[in-house]
Amino acid sequence: MRRALLVLLALWPALAAAEAPPKPVKVFLDEVNATLRARWAESERAAWVAANFITVDTQAIEAQARERLMAATSEAVTATAAYKGDALDPESARMITLLRLSTSAPAPLNAERRSELATVLADLGGLYGAGKWCPPGAKDGAGCQTLGDLSKIMAESRDPKALLQAWTRWRTVSPAMKPLYERFVALGNEGARGIEFKDLGDAWRSGYDMPAEAFEAETERLWQQVQPLYEQLHCYVRGRLAKRYAGVVSAKGTLPAHVLGNMWAQDWLEIYPLVEPFPGKAPLDVTGALKAKQWDAMRMVKLAEGFFTGLGLKPLPPSFFERSLFEKPQDREVECHASAWDVNYQGDVRIKMCIEPTESDLITIHHELGHIYYYLYYNQLPILYQSGAHDGFHEAIGDALALSVTPGYLKQAGILDAAPDDAEGLLNVQMKVALDKIAFLPFGRMIDQWRWDVFSGKVKPADWNAHWWRLRAQYQGIHPPVARPADAFDPGAKYHIPANTPYVRYFLSFVVQFQFYKALCEAAGHTGPLHTCSFAGSKAAGERLAKVLAMGASKPWPDAMEAFTGQRAMDASALLEYFAPLQAWLKTQNAGQACGW
């Protein structure tokens, strides 16, 4: 009896609120938008400081701000029960749906566990941000290697022993995350069930204007569209690497994860010199040109801004250049993973990135400015609409523009001295883009599949790492280069896992960015093969882009897709059209080979 009374007393505030006459839904949503804008801004600012000054104290401040945001969101979501079953106008109904889906980590109703969730997430982020490999007995950081140091080896070395060492060393930072991640899964699932989802994965999959089951099927449908092209690329690259790394890479089966130029084998751009179709045919050493011509971080950012303003979009505010982090500080630890921010959700936009003069970073800057321009164009909307039409839209905008950063554009910018103008040069260009775009697709597909399986309980903690590698083999045709130890937590070595950033958005973006690109090319009046298009400088293309950016999440994504492309579905046809020359060439190169794994 006493226990029942205590439970009743604990629930009394929620019960009293539920019994009170509800406010008019418009009043309620106006108040929610005002409250969440303040809480999100507070949380974002704390996260910015924690990422740029990694200490125990900044992590604690970030956790406290995150907890206040969680509490405000949970309170608002709970209050929506008063409007269940009401005949709501479409705008109010959409806002309530977006409110329920507004966080990737819905908090438990219990205040103690809500606080624990905030702390766990801050601690996971801190472990990743401060992660480094140090030799036994190292003092004062002597001999330690950061992710940047190890990634540089992965990108530049051609010594398989050095590559294996760098690959293995970074994965020593993640085993400590596993107990925290187990607790996060439990708390995140509790929060998701509190807002009527089966688990956290079910909540994530419900954010696409379709049932969760339909979205998972849609994701697999898109993968099936692009899988044949990926398999041809995998086959060709495997053949080249088998010759370069005899005894390390087999001409059949899966590829070892450490020889593909990237810490996570998520793109293969850095091994382009090893697989170039026609060596020396096209001057595509963008990294070498940037270094030789002494391009610095600010100049690279200004070039990317100029691409957007050339389309007629507004320039970045002066505060962007004053407050962003462009280079790694020498006096402190920072989280170098590139990210875009609107710290106050009203135009205090920034990027955080330790920029190096490389082609990869130049592409990434364009990508991050795509986020920034989305923020700037929709920040006049209510806070619940300040998002992409779906999260894949947000990721795709900058990449669609980067597709127009062609060798010809880089020549015009003064980076390259010449641009390819024949069929062999074209295939070199397409191979380079494919190593970035096509190589990524299965990686983007499998990461959230792993999390969906973890959140649902389909895979138990003891099998988490093995399941990670099963999915990597299934989708990517990749295997770990060495047997993984019993305590390995290799998923945690990828930023988006400890940062709790959903990842299928990137897979979607790598498909729809080609739809966006084709639509912008059409707006610019382009004629001829799709892969020859650059819409740089087209005000008509910029006008179409700005219209969609300003919509934010105010309409279901099929409406935004239709406004942008004239289509209401996601489709890989434009991607396949773009890479048609390369796919035909790959098939001839792979003739007689046992492709697949």
Judge whether 577 counts as a catalytic residue: no
For 508-559, how does the pLDDT look when each residue is reduced to its tens digit (9 = 90+)?
Answer: 999 999 999 999 999 999 999 999 898 989 999 999 999 999 999 999 999 9
Residue 10 pLDDT class (50, 70, 90 cuts): very low
What phi and psi values does residue 400 have, to the nearest 5 degrees?
A: -60, -40
Q: Which residue in 234, 258, 367, 526 is the catalytic one?
A: 367
Which of 69, 53, 64, 62 has the alpha carbon at shortest distance from 104? 69
Judge whether 368 counts as a catalytic residue: yes
User: What is the residue-averaged pLDDT of the chain?
Assistant: 92
Dihedral (Cα; 336, 339, 342, 344), 10-degree rounding: -40
Domain boundaries, the chain: 2-128+179-196, 231-294+373-597
Cβ-count burial 302-337 (b if 16+ within 10 Å, e if not)? ebbbebbebbebeebeeebeebbbbebeeeebbbbb
Alpha-carbon span 559 to 460, nearest angstrom: 39
pLDDT value of position 238: 98
Mean pLDDT (whole number) for 322-351: 92
Query: Which residues have C-beta within 8 Å of that of residue 439, sequence separation ≥ 6?
Result: 230, 233, 260, 266, 267, 268, 269
Sign of CA dihedral 320, 324, 326, 331: positive
Coil vs helix vs strand at 479: strand
CB 433 within 8 A of CB 286: no
Q: Which residue in 38, 130, 338, 580 is the catalytic one?
A: 338
What phi and psi values does residue 145 have, to the nearest 5 degrees?
A: -125, 130
How many degrees, rounded to 5, is the angle at CA 511 between CA 256 and CA 234?
Answer: 25
pLDDT value of position 282: 65
By residue count, the chain amounts to 597
From residue 148, alpha-carbon distances to 144, 367, 444 in Å are 11, 20, 22
pLDDT at 1 over 50: no
Strand 132-133 vs strand 145-146: parallel, antiparallel, or unpaired?
antiparallel
pLDDT at 8 over 60: no
Q: Which residue in 258, 366, 390, 496 is the catalytic one?
A: 496
Residue 132 corresponds to which tokens in the numbers above? 């480094």
Q: Return the percentage of the chain with pLDDT > 70, whole number.
A: 96
Q: Which residue in 374, 378, 506, 517 is the catalytic one?
A: 506
Alpha-carbon span 486 to 463, nearest angstrom: 10
Strand 339-342 vs strand 255-256: parallel, antiparallel, or unpaired?
unpaired
Q: Which residue in 368, 517, 522, 541 is the catalytic one?
A: 368
pLDDT at 4 over 60: no
Alpha-carbon span 378 to 375, nearest angstrom: 6
From residue 112, alpha-carbon distances to 10, 60, 108, 125 in Å are 12, 15, 9, 20
Q: Which residue in 216, 305, 395, 522 is the catalytic one?
A: 395
How many degrees, rounded to 5, is the angle at CA 424 between CA 420 and CA 427?
Answer: 90
Q: Could you tell me how far CA 425 lies from the centroid of its own chain?
A: 30
| Long-range CB pairs of 41-50, under 8 A, 24+ apart, other chains included | 41/343, 41/344, 41/345, 41/346, 42/68, 42/69, 43/68, 43/69, 44/341, 44/342, 44/343, 44/344, 44/345, 45/343, 45/344, 48/341, 48/343, 48/350, 48/352, 50/122, 50/125, 50/126
Alpha-carbon span 487 to 181, nearest angstrom: 13
For 68-125, how does the pLDDT look when each residue is reduced to its tens digit (9 = 90+)?
Answer: 998 898 899 888 888 886 788 999 999 999 998 988 998 888 989 989 999 999 999 9
Judge whether 467 counts as a catalytic residue: no
Alpha-carbon span 567 to 220, nearest angstrom: 19
Q: Which residue in 371, 390, 526, 531 is the catalytic one?
A: 371
Q: Which residue in 130, 186, 242, 337 is the catalytic one?
A: 337
For 109-167, how does the pLDDT look when each residue is reduced to its tens digit (9 = 90+)?
Answer: 898 998 999 999 999 999 998 999 999 988 877 899 999 999 999 999 999 999 999 99
Q: Which pTM does this prediction carry?
A: 0.87
Counting Cα atoms < 13 Å in the Cβ hemisphere of 108 gives 17
The H-or-E segment that residue 154 falls in is helix 147-156
* Helix intervals (H) in 206-315: 212-244, 272-275, 286-292, 297-310
Judge whether 337 counts as a catalytic residue: yes
Residue 6, exposed/middle/buried by CB under 10 A (0-12, 13-18, 19+)? exposed
CB 506 within 8 A of CB 444: yes
Judge whether 367 counts as a catalytic residue: yes
